[in-house]
Structure 1
Amino acid sequence: MFTAITHSQIYVLDQDEALDFYVGKLGLEVNSDVDLGFMRWLTVNVPGDPERQILLEKPGGPTMSEETAQQVRELVTKGAMGGHLIFRTDDCRKTYETLLSKGVEFTQEPTEQPYGIDCGLRDPFGNSIRFTQPKA
């Protein structure tokens, strides 16, 4: 049957702004940026892990009516349509300080949890992002 998850998708309202955030601030790398005519296929990945990509998708295209796309954009703007991403880090507090110095706004500071240390933030479009330093 299945052997891996290769792509996950989150909605963004502006793909260039998403690139600035995910690549410029979070330090991910562009995997693909292709104009397919009906949409821009834009994926990013954790450096060194190109097999697992995040599609930064703008609502619309051939699979969605313009009316539905507008409704999705409104829900994204309200933060009601946000996706969820969880990253692993070797040093949660250091990653937090690095991202804080780049202007990333957090929803939760690094916190000790039964499974390790983690914290939370949101991207400019309301998607929830967490990163975790697992317990040794």
Structure 2
Amino acid sequence: MRIHLSSVFVDDQDKALRFYTDVLGFVKKHDVPLGEDRWLTVVSPEDPDGTELLLEPSGHPAVPPYRAALAEDGIPAASFAVDDVHAEFDRLRRLGVHFTQEPLEAGPVTTAVLDDTCGNLVQIVHSA
């Protein structure tokens, strides 16, 4: 068994696609119209057949309180592995990304948390 798909709820799929591809560096895998919304996934360019991230529309009534509670408590909706948190932090900062947590070293793990501009906090992490 392996993880095939995970999702984050987004306010605007077009805006999310731009952020997750142009800023974070993922690539679009699927873009299938489904009425007003789309089945829109991105993948890592390093693993195009790997786990897909669904940019899920946030229209369901349960989503706003769920996301608000996560954001209020500073809990990331997703976590992405990077080779160097400090370098990725610097790169993303230069692109105007807002971080709610600067790089933090906790033993063998370094993390930072960013705002994805679409209603979510996202953690970047590296384990030594």
TM-score range, shorter chain: 0.7 to 0.9
* Number of residue pairs matched by the alignment: 123
Quote the RMSD (CA, aligned, Å): 2.0
Q: CA deviation at 1:88?
A: 1.1
Identity of aligned residues (%): 37
The alpha-carbon distance between structure 1 residues 95 and 132, as it changes in their structure 2 partners (threshold 3 A), is same
Query: Aligned partner of 1:91: which letter?
Result: D
Q: What's the secondary structure of 1:17's corresponding residue? A: helix
TM-score normalised over the length of structure 1: 0.79
Structure 1: which 4+ aligned runs deviate by more than 2 Å?
Answer: 36-39, 71-76, 78-83
Map 1:94-113 to 2 at 5 A: 94-113=87-106
Q: What's the secondary structure of 2:69's corresponding residue? A: coil
Task: State the match for 1:32 in structure 2.
Answer: 30
Q: What's the secondary structure of 2:39's corresponding residue? A: strand
Q: What's the secondary structure of 1:121's corresponding residue? A: strand
TM-score normalised over the length of structure 2: 0.84
What is the alpha-carbon distance in structure 1 between the residues aligned to residue 30 and residue 44 of structure 2? 13
Rg larger in structure = 1
Greater strand percent: which structure?
A: 2
Gaps of 5+ in 1: 61-68
